[in-house]
Amino acid sequence: MVNLKKIRAAKARLSGIAEVTPLNYSGSLSDMVGSEVYLKLENLQKTGSFKLRGAANKIASLGTDAKERGVIAASAGNHAQGVAFGAQRVGIPAIVVMPEGAPLAKVAATRNYGAEVVLYGSVYDDAYHRAVELQAERGASFIHAFDDHEVIAGQGTVGLEILDQLSDVDAILIPIGGGGLAAGVSLAVKQLSPQVKVIGVQASGAPSMLEAVKQGRIITLAHISTIADGIAVKEPGKLTFELVSRNVDEVVTVSDEEIAEGILTLLERCKVVAEGAGAVAVAALLSQKVKLQGKKVVCVVSGGNIDVNFVAQIIERGLVKTGRKVLISTFIPDRIGTLNKLLEIIERCKANIISIDHSRTVEALPLGMAAVTLTLETEHQAHIQFILKSLAKLDYQVKVLNQGYGLF
Residue numbers annotated as active site? 51, 302
How far out from the chain centre does Cα 10 lie?
26
Answer for the pair 301, 41: CB distance below 8 angstroms, yes or no. yes
Q: What are phi and psi of 126, to 5 degrees?
A: -65, -45
Answer for the pair 275, 213: CB distance below 8 angstroms, yes or no. no
Helix axes 4-13, 149-165, angle to 10 degrees: 80
CB contact set of 331 (below 8 Å; sequence gap of 6+): 365, 366, 369, 370, 371, 372, 397
Helix axes 276-286, 256-270, angle to 10 degrees: 90
Answer for the pair 306, 263: CB distance below 8 angstroms, yes or no. yes
**347 to 334, 343, 351, 403: CA distances (angstroms):** 21, 6, 6, 22
Answer for the pair 188, 156: CB distance below 8 angstroms, yes or no. yes
